Each structure stands twice: as structure tokens, then as C-alpha cells.
């Protein structure tokens, strides 16, 4: 059975990394291997690949069969293209210098594409970070405004609550007036002493009316009780004797 170029799982759970190894096709995935060619880390963007280019090319030329994932990795790194160029040199399509020239041109273009992708990822990441920062700044500003508004409302409420309590403190000098309270002044001019109910009996018209009643005055003015002729006659008789 031919050897295979495949991945061997390593790393921890949910953060797995893989070793690129040459192993017997009958060996278990994580079992014994013939030779290690590099490492593949899919947790980064773009993925990080460390590969021994010459060893991988040598094993391909020996007939090792890569798995689908390893084929994509080898194509990405240019191993398969280099093998294709060397096969063209063997067939006489072009010389080795031309093959090397074509390979360098391809690698330069590939590196430019990889760098452009990295720059795009970095710019998009920076843009995302900037947008997130702007969003968080707006949220913080809104929260700060809300907090300031609440504080102003609380201060206004406290001032409104303290205002009635402060007025009695300022009016306390006026509260000293109980020393000269009107209730004390009232006894000086107590109305009960000059209460009309007490004065009314003294000045009751019903008592005065009998004094001024004409019926009582008429007997006093009646001349029949003290008729002058009756009083005069006895005096004249005494004189005659």
C-alpha cells in the first residue's frame, strides 16, 4: 500500500491543530507516522501553515497520495505546481530555468494575493472595532446624559423636599411671637369681661321700660291724689280760730 500525506490531530478541544505527516495508509489517524512535514493551524485567519517544501515535493515524486485537505494545503503552498513544472521539464516542454521562472512568478502573485487578503481582513477587523467603539461611545454618552438627568431630577426633588423644612427654620424667630401671642393679649382685653351677655342685663331695655312706662308716670302726675284745694282748706280754718 502507498504512503499517504495526511493530518494528525493535536491540540486541545475546540482549538485543534494538525501535524502534516507521511504515514502508512493502514495506520490509525493518530498512530505511528513515517515523517512529519509541517503543521496546519486552522484557528487563524488566514490559516497558518508551516511546511517543509522540499520534503513534501520529494514524497509526492515518490508516489505518496495526499488526502483532500492535504492536497489543498500543498496546492496553496505551491508544491503541486512545482511538481507539475518538473514533470514538464522531464517531458521536455521547457527547461529547468523556465520552470523556475514560472514558479517564482506564480509565488510572487500568490504572496501578493495572500497579503491583500491579510490587509483586507485587518482593515475589516479595524472597521468592526471602530464601529463597535463608536457604538459603545454613543451608548456611554447616552448613559452619562441619562445619569446626569436623573441626578438633576433627584437634586430638584431634594430641594423641593427640603424647601418646606427650611422655611420653618427661617420662621422660628416669628415663632417666638408666642411670648406675645394674641391669646395672651386677649386676656388683657378679654372679651368675656366685656362680654355683651353681661352688659345686656345692666342695659336691658326691659328693666328701663318700666321706669319710663307712661302708665307708671300717669299716677305720679295724677292731681286728684294731691289736690291743692283739699290741702288749702285746713290751713285757712286754723287761721280763723
64 burial type by CB count under 10 A (0-12 exposed, 13-18 middle, 19+ buried): buried
Distance CA 40, CA 47 (A): 7
User: Is the CB of residue 7 less than 8 Å from the CB of residue 38?
Assistant: no
Q: How confident is the model at residue 74 (pLDDT cuts 50, 70, 90)?
A: very high
pLDDT at 227: 47
Per-residue pLDDT of 193-237, as tens digits, reads 545 545 544 544 445 444 544 444 444 544 444 444 454 444 544
Domain formed by 3-65+73-93, architecture: 2-Layer Sandwich (3.30)
Report, as an integer, the average pLDDT of 70-89. 91
Please give the share of the chain, as a percent, with pLDDT higher than 90.
30
pLDDT at 223: 47
pLDDT at 177: 54
H or E segment to which residue 25 belongs: none
Strand ranges, E, within the chain: 3-12, 15-24, 35-41, 48-51, 65-66
Distance CA 4, CA 24 (A): 6
Give the closest residue to 20 by CA, choosing from 40, 41, 42, 46. 40
H or E segment to which residue 46 belongs: none
pLDDT at 212: 45
What is the residue extent of each domain of the chain?
Answer: 3-65+73-93, 101-161
pLDDT at 95: 87
Per the prediction, the chain carries an average pLDDT of 76
167's grid cell: 422655611
104-123 residues labelled b (16+ CB within 10 A) or e (exposed): eeeeeeeeeeeeeeeeeeee
Q: How confident is the model at residue 241 (pLDDT cuts 50, 70, 90)?
A: very low
Instruction: Map grid coordinates 420662621 to a residue.
Output: 171
159's grid cell: 430641594
Q: How confident is the model at residue 75 (pLDDT cuts 50, 70, 90)?
A: very high
User: Is the CB of residue 80 less than 8 Å from the CB of residue 71?
Assistant: yes
Could you tell me what percentage of the chain is helix, strand and coil, using 3-state DSSP and rounding each to the nearest 5?
A: 65, 15, 20
pLDDT at 90: 87
pLDDT at 184: 52
**Region of poorest pLDDT, from 18-22, 101-105, 189-193:** 189-193
Q: How confident is the model at residue 68 (pLDDT cuts 50, 70, 90)?
A: very high
Report, as an integer, the average pLDDT of 46-70. 91
Distance CA 151, CA 159 (A): 12
Per-residue pLDDT of 83-129, as tens digits, reads 999 988 888 888 889 989 999 999 999 889 988 988 888 888 888 88
Amino acid at each position: 500500500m502507498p504512503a499517504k500525506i495526511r493530518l494528525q490531530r493535536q491540540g486541545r478541544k475546540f482549538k485543534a491543530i494538525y501535524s502534516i505527516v507521511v504515514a502508512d495508509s493502514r495506520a490509525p489517524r493518530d498512530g505511528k507516522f513515517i515523517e512529519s512535514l509541517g503543521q496546519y493551524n486552522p484557528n487563524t485567519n488566514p490559516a497558518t501553515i508551516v511546511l517543509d517544501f522540499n520534503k513534501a515535493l520529494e514524497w509526492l515524486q515518490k508516489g505518496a497520495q495526499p488526502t483532500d485537505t492535504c492536497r489543498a494545503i500543498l496546492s496553496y503552498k505551491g508544491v503541486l505546481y512545482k511538481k507539475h513544472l518538473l514533470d514538464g521539464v522531464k517531458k521536455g516542454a521547457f527547461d529547468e530555468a523556465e520552470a523556475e521562472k514560472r514558479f517564482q512568478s506564480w509565488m510572487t502573485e500568490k504572496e501578493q494575493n495572500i497579503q491583500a487578503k491579510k490587509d483586507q481582513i485587518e482593515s475589516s477587523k479595524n472597521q468592526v472595532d471602530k464601529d463597535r467603539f463608536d457604538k459603545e461611545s454613543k451608548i456611554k454618552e447616552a448613559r452619562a446624559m441619562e445619569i446626569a438627568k436623573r441626578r438633576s431630577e433627584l437634586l430638584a426633588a431634594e430641594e423641593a423636599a427640603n424647601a418646606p423644612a427650611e422655611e420653618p427654620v427661617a420662621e422660628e424667630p416669628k415663632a417666638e411671637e408666642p411670648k406675645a401671642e394674641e391669646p395672651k393679649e386677649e386676656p388683657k382685653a378679654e372679651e368675656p369681661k366685656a362680654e355683651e351677655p353681661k352688659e345686656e342685663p345692666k342695659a336691658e331695655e326691659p328693666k328701663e321700660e318700666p321706669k319710663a312706662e307712661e302708665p307708671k308716670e300717669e299716677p305720679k302726675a295724677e292731681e286728684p291724689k294731691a289736690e291743692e284745694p283739699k290741702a288749702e282748706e285746713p290751713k285757712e280754718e286754723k287761721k280763723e280760730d
